[in-house]
Structure 1
Amino acid sequence: MIYTSVLAAVVSALAAEAIDNTSKQAWQKLYRPGSADGHDLVTLSQSVEQGSITRMDADCWIYARLHSQLKPRHWDALVAKYSTHRARKVQAIAKLHPLIASHAPKLFVINAVTAWAIPRLLGVQGKRSTDMIVLPQEFYDVNRWDPEANPERTRRRWRKGVEDALEGMVSEALNDAGKLLEYEGLFFAAAA
């Protein structure tokens, strides 16, 4: 068993994509499209368990498979929420906000999607050793998102609506990813 859950597989695959490593494409030698059993990941899974390829190779294969098979909005929701690759995360945010149906002004929706994808981090600004995207604290002030100064209750409802839509996309994406990975022959160990 390579992963304990669908979420673990997705997060690991997205993290692997952010690592600059020239050996990422080794999985392609093991890929058998249209194999007789119809499950392309079986060979990859067995190779990881036998130690003939690395976990990084498996992660990269899963990344490529999910990217090619998931609906674009589902892929973008996963990247926006879980990726550590700065440019891909920003691209995903830009693709998601036009998909959100809301009565809120466009600026509000853009900021709500961004705040969902890049949540406020605890700690002192500028004191992190990570390459994560860090937005200024004032960005998260919802009052700045609405130039028309609608009531606070309205802004909270808008924000919750945006977050619910995005979380729905993530849930659908993880469900579809689970079906795909299960079909491909990757079975998850029971969580301990």
Structure 2
Amino acid sequence: MIYSSTLSAVVSALAAECIDNTSKQKWQQLYQSGELRPCGQTVSPEDRMTADCWVFARLHHGLKPRHWHALVAKFSTHKGRKVEAIGKLVPLVATPAGPLFLYKAVTTWAIPALKGADGKRSTKDLLILPAPFYDMNTWESEGRPEQTRRRWRLGIHKVLNEMVGEALVEAETILCSEGVLVGEAA
């Protein structure tokens, strides 16, 4: 038992491939990360990395492609995988909106605008879109009413959120069968 919830397992596994294993300064070497287990023991960073990589592989193999892509688009910190997942999700969403609108709606769902991203926080390793990308007025050229565009965006985001919900349910089934969730027996 390693993870406290399905979401923490998914986020940790998706972040594992972006963890920097380079040399650290002395104060960084002294810091011991690790998540407390129910009996008070900690999981070593090496064991946690191994578990994260293993969970990544199990979920990638065990989930339907649309579920995997939804999780990667929403939670991954790997820029390339996130962009690829967005591209795989776009054709899966049925909407009366045009292709540009759909693409931008999916992209802004996966990469939401960040507060403070205008220089007040470190964004070196984050995938950030230019501010005009979030302007719905640029998402289609036919001049539809704002109410229509909001309804389309809401519908697209609803479908994507449902995919994430389904994916987390399936991921929980996989993780429970492997016995890596706290409080779950194998």
Spell out, residue by residue over 1:45-83, the C-alpha distance to the aligned partner (whole angstroms, 9 max, x if none): xxx978695100000000000001100000000000000
User: Which residue is 2:6 aligned to?
Assistant: 6
| Greater share of residues in helix | 1
**Is 1:74–1:172's contact at 8 Å kept on the other side of the alignment?**
yes
Match of 2:98 in 1: 105
What is the RMSD computed on CA atoms of the aligned residues? 2.1
State the number of aligned residues: 165
State the identity %: 59
User: Which residue is equivalent to 1:139?
Assistant: 133
56, 60, 67: which one aligns with 1:67? 60
The aligned residue for residue 171 of structure 1 is: 165
**TM-score where L is the length of structure 2:** 0.82
Q: 1:117 aligns with which of 104, 110, 113?
A: 110
**Which runs of 5 or more structure 1 residues have no equivalent in the other structure?**
23-47
Q: Is 2:183 the counterpart of 1:181? A: no
* Structure 1 position 18 matched with structure 2 position 18: yes
Whether the aligned pair in 2 keeps the contact of 1:17 and 1:63 (CA below 8 Å) is: no
- Displacement of 1:138 in angstroms is 1.2
| Structure 1 contact 3–189 (Cα < 8 Å) conserved | no
Give 2:167's aligned amino acid: A
Query: What is the identity, as a one-letter code, of the residue corresponding to 2:111?
Result: I
Question: Structure 2: 5+ residue runs without aligned partners?
Answer: 23-40
The alpha carbon displacement at 1:128 in A equals 3.8
**TM-score, length-normalised on structure 1?**
0.80
